[in-house]
Amino acid sequence: MTTPTLALNGFEAAHADAITALLGGAETGLGTWQLTAENHAAVVLVDTDTLGGHMAWLKLTGAGRIAVACSASQRWEEGSEADLRLALPVRREALARVLARALARAGGAAPIAPPQRALPALSLVPSSDSFTDTRQPRLCDRLLQGVDKALRVPLADGALLIDPQADCWYGPGALKPLADTLLQPARAAAEIDAATLAHERSGAAQPLARLRWYAALIAAPAAPPDGAQDGSRLRLIRWPEIEREFPRHFRIAAAMMRQPASAGEIAAQVGATADEVNDFARAAQARGMLEVLPPGAAPMDAQPPIPAARR
């Protein structure tokens, strides 16, 4: 019998860990399921309470995928055979029932064909959406998927040290020089123990969220944020820390904070390209700061010029 495959989209780490643990339950048949990348999975569980989660669920179901909507905020009845819904936190019996219904609807364990557009993965991290990348995983992809062990990546001068237990990293202060490092295959990073990490630490610790933000910025150049369609409106829901290396991001962020607008509309107003806006939007999405709205959302009105960032 072919092993049924499952993917998780947009869950907080606690929920993702709980579901993963339940999949070891042989007594309910859950142990037969195997977690895999979203574009290879027969069934996808989606946390529709997360930012952009509902849009991700709509995108999957609209593409003909078998997706289960999971929510802690809605009082769903799980007994309906017609619904693929789960209440959070997930209970073993409810998960077994809904996966059995989902697998029957999928017609067996064969993977469903993925949507035409595949974007880099952000699954199992407490951020916005999940993306899928069928290429060989790079260090930036591994960062976005979640790192649980200390890593060392050699640099021309020193090393990049990633310490997920302390939620920080050590290395050059500037982000742009790390682009080639983050785009190389993930196997370039070697796992190290705590003693080696402590010995090689140099300089001030920097927030790991900053490195993840940059990883999302460069992971898929010009690709729109997950859940976006042509004409989708983008809105920044809180102000990010603007990196000095990207001064144009100040103007993009200011425009996205004021009113929902498409990437093209934002680019036209701030003097950037739509690709730059999409890159910034993906990075903001990885930090849980972006809302993707349908194309019918209110367009951006004419606004006075946005002041330049203070130097």
Do 69 and 44 fall within a single domain?
yes
Do 210 and 235 fall within a single domain?
no
Q: pLDDT category, 287, cuts 50, 70, 90?
A: confident
Which tens digits make up the pLDDT trace of 61-71? Answer: 777 889 998 88
- What pLDDT does residue 232 have? 92
Please say which residue of 219, 250, 271 terminates a domain. 219
Which tens digits make up the pLDDT trace of 105-125? Answer: 876 533 333 333 333 333 323
Query: What is the CATH classification number for the domain harbouring 30?
Result: 3.40.50.2300
Distance, in Å, from the CA atom of 75 to the CA atom of 81, rounded to the nearest integer, reads 16
Which structural domain range is residue 20 located in?
Answer: 5-106
- What pLDDT does residue 221 have? 92
Report the Cα 55 to chain-centroid distance in Å: 13
Residue 209 lies in a domain: yes
How many other CB atoms are there within 10 angstroms of residue 248's CB atom? 17
Closest CA to 265 of 238, 232, 229: 232
- Helix, strand, coil distribution of the chain in percent, nearest 5: 35, 15, 50
Do 9 and 87 fall within a single domain?
yes
Q: How many CA atoms within 13 Å lie on the side-chain side of 160? A: 23
97 burial (CB, 10 Å; 0-12 / 13-18 / 19+) is middle
Do 76 and 149 fall within a single domain?
no
Do 144 and 206 fall within a single domain?
yes
Decide: 9 and 53 in contact? Cβ < 8 Å.
yes
Residue 121 lies in a domain: no
Do 226 and 213 fall within a single domain?
no
Distance, in Å, from the CA atom of 290 to the CA atom of 20, rounded to the nearest integer, reads 27
Do 204 and 232 fall within a single domain?
no
Do 10 and 98 fall within a single domain?
yes
Report the Cα 220 to chain-centroid distance in Å: 12
Report the alpha-carbon angle 22-121-247, nearest 5: 135
Q: Looking at residue 152, what DSSP letter applies?
A: E
Which tens digits make up the pLDDT trace of 188-229? Answer: 999 998 888 888 887 788 999 899 999 999 999 999 998 888
Residue 127 lies in a domain: no
Which tens digits make up the pLDDT trace of 55-108? Answer: 778 778 777 889 998 888 765 544 444 478 888 888 888 898 899 888 888 765
Do 163 and 252 fall within a single domain?
no
Sequence-separated (6 or more) residues with CB below 8 Å from residue 223: 117, 119, 120, 278, 282
Residue 111 lies in a domain: no
Do 168 and 83 fall within a single domain?
no
Which tens digits make up the pLDDT trace of 141-151? Answer: 999 888 888 99
Residue 34 lies in a domain: yes
Which tens digits make up the pLDDT trace of 131-168? Answer: 334 457 899 999 988 888 899 999 988 899 999 888 89
Residue 228 lies in a domain: yes
Q: How many domains are there within the chain?
A: 3
- For the segment 256-274, the average pLDDT, to the nearest whole number, is 93
Decide: 52 and 290 in contact? Cβ < 8 Å.
yes
- What pLDDT does residue 50 have? 66
Please say which residue of 189, 204, 219 terminates a domain. 219
Do 59 and 44 fall within a single domain?
yes
